[in-house]
Amino acid sequence: MKKTIAGLAAFLLLAACGPESRTVGDLPVITVFGEIEAEPTRAAMDPDVEPLFARYGLVFEAAAELSWPQLAALEQHRIDTDYPAGGPVRHFSGPLLRDVLGLVRPREEEIVVTALDGYQRSLARMTLDVHDVILAIRVDGDPIPLGGFGPAMIVWPRAQDQALTGMPDDDWVWGVFAIEVRAESTSPAP
């Protein structure tokens, strides 16, 4: 009898941890969509229940989601740098942005990063190969909360990489929650 109950408990535990269930710790923090090779982990954007994606025009048929632990499992890099520019030096850490993209295997050369407040920047993947840009998930050692720079922030090694000396803060995007991979947009004819 004891064995049966133990067996049942084990079965229920397994069932609860099946692929359909998620714990808070596995909650996706970054949704990557567009021209990626990775197996999708979710279906199409649903405007009825995903108002933030809808508001910012982030429409997709499928996407790969990345959780905080997945980002933390990649090799972590630390960047000590001023932010905002000329302000206090903070200690940011997280995976290289190119390693994050490595998880989803981009097929195209441009990424468009969208933040919780709708701020959006596009970056060439080549730039991320040349400079050790990170997707910071910790600042001064602590996970970055929502309402602060979280869930993740693009941080550049401007104090370490001479080519970045004096760069402005425009491409330092905090509150990153979505990344689209797409073909590089050609500039409009003059």
Residues that bind ligand MTE (CB under 6 A): 84, 115, 117, 119, 169-170, 172-175
Taking the least distance from each CB to ligand MTE, the nearer of 157 and 175 is: 175
Q: What are the helix (H) ranges across 18-176?
A: 51-55, 68-73, 97-104, 125-130
The C-alpha atoms of residue 47 and residue 70 are separated, in whole angstroms, by 26
Taking the least distance from each CB to ligand MTE, the nearer of 46 and 117 is: 117
**CB of 119: closest distance to ligand MTE in angstroms?**
3
Coil, strand or helix at 9:
helix
The C-alpha atoms of residue 110 and residue 88 are separated, in whole angstroms, by 31
Taking the least distance from each CB to ligand MTE, the nearer of 51 and 84 is: 84
**CB of 63: closest distance to ligand MTE in angstroms?**
20
**CB of 51: closest distance to ligand MTE in angstroms?**
18
**CB of 173: closest distance to ligand MTE in angstroms?**
5
Taking the least distance from each CB to ligand MTE, the nearer of 60 and 119 is: 119
Q: Are strands 28-34 and 176-182 parallel, antiparallel or unpaired?
A: parallel
Query: Is the dihedral angle over the CA atoms 182, 188, 189, 190 positive or is it negative?
Result: negative
How crowded is residue 179: how many other Cβ atoms within 10 Å of its Cβ? 28
